[in-house]
Structures are given as C-alpha cells and as structure tokens.
Structure 1
C-alpha cells in the first residue's frame, strides 16, 4: 500500500463514499497553494482525475475553464486501491457517467436520492458476486442469482432495483427469455 499523507487519505476516503467518486469539496483547511500541491501530486500519481463538472447537478468545481464551464475531481481505481478499497464498480460507474449525456432520466433519479453512495464495494461480497454475474454477456436470471447467493428471489430483485439501480445508478436491463425467465444484464458503456 502506498504511503499517503493525512490530507490525501481523507480526500480519497470521502470520495469513495460519494456519488461518482467525487473528491470535491476538499476538506476544510485545505485551500490555496496547499490544495493545489496536494491535488497535483494525487493527479500525478493517478489517484485523482480531472473531469468536466456537471453544472446541472451543481457539482463543486475544482477550477473554471471559461465560458461557464469547469472541472471537478474524481477518485480513480488506483486512488481507491491506495486506501484499500477494491474498485469493483468504480470503473463501471465512471464509464457510465462519462458516456451518459446530460439530462437523461437516470441522472435525475440518481440526483434525487440524497446521501452518500459507495461506488466501490469489497471483493467477495454477495453484491460483488451479483455485479459480476450481471456483467456477463448472457446476464443472469433470478434463479441463477438465487442459486449463487442463497438469497430469496424477492431479495435478489430488491438488490438489483434498490442497491444497484437506485443507489449505485447502474444501468441494468431486463429481458424475458422462454427458457431462463427474466434475465438481467449490466450494460457498461
């Protein structure tokens, strides 16, 4: 595990619990040249990435680029690994957010749910297993999910709609198949 300063550790830990792994706003007391130096080193090491801020969602700005546009900071997979979090979902969520055009209904639904969302989960959990199953090209049926996780069918459906769709904002689709029943898939952009 790389050596982190207290400020770097706080920034990455807070980013891991925010939607889209947003690193902004920075901790109180970290401003000016100190903030610029800390963030610069984190970007250089690949722990943070500067991306366009979504002003419709009122994301905090790291810097303004002109013409009413600006950038914000997000934690990368390497940044999450630096604090000991395995980024199972981080890359999927990041790719989806980058690929989704502004103003889509999924963004409005994600914006409506307030409170921190953990965009990366621990390896070896049932939720991680569920995400892996949904990312397969053939997807996963409820019966397959129940067999793999030992959950009840209603628990599996609740995890898909509540934890994955609503809390993490993942684009999960469902299709009816004659042999397998309803099959769920996670379509990463």
Structure 2
C-alpha cells in the first residue's frame, strides 16, 4: 500500500471506476454535483490520480497505487513480445530496401533518382530507419569507376 491519502469522495470515485468501468470515471456520489465535481476532478488530476482520456477521465497508475490495487495490463505488458515492424510493399522505403538487396546494390544518387529524396535524407534513412529501427546491416564499398555502393548484408 502507498502513503497517498484520499478523501472519502476520491476513494469512492476511484474504487467505482476501477471495479465497474475499467478505470473510466463515470460515476460520482449523490452529494457531488455541478461545480463540486469539477473541483474533485481537478484535485485528483493535480495529484496525478487521474488522467484525461479524450473527453473524459480515467484512473492513472497513481490512483491504482493509492487504492493498493494492481494496475491493469501490467502482467500482459511484461509477457507480451514486441511487435514486429512492418513496411508497406509500395512505399519508398520498401523500394530502397529492394534496391539495396540487389546483387549490384545501389548508390546514393540512384536512390535519390528513384525516390526523389535528397542525399542527406537517404543517409539519414540508412542510419535511422534501416539500422536502428529495422535492424538491417548496410555495407558500403567503393568500386572503381562508380560511386560508393551500398548493400544490405
């Protein structure tokens, strides 16, 4: 349990949201109406017990902690495997990857011509999207009579 002290009203609102509405704050005690609702919501928001979700409010992690209730989705988040990144088959990124997979590879100028990108964009895509995000290994070599050639290893 945590040291966060809740008023009776705050505790009732958060408990109801956790038990009945999946964490969405939709119910208030009968004695909390009009401006009092706004004040209660503002107080809980200022203490980080609730967060905005679209037009409404939902219980934040600190709200679950204040009740001593396990947060929803913790076990699923720990056991879930990271999603595989996908690329569209008709995108410029897919076109560049196909060019780099060819046996002859591709030069930066060839990629610029095919995509309409500038040279710095191509180099940034190699370092950011391909190496860091997609985990592709890109090699380069200087061939006689040709610019530097890049390939996916």
TM-score (ref. length: structure 2): 0.46
**Higher normalized contact order (CA 8 Å, seq sep 6+, divided by chain length):** 1
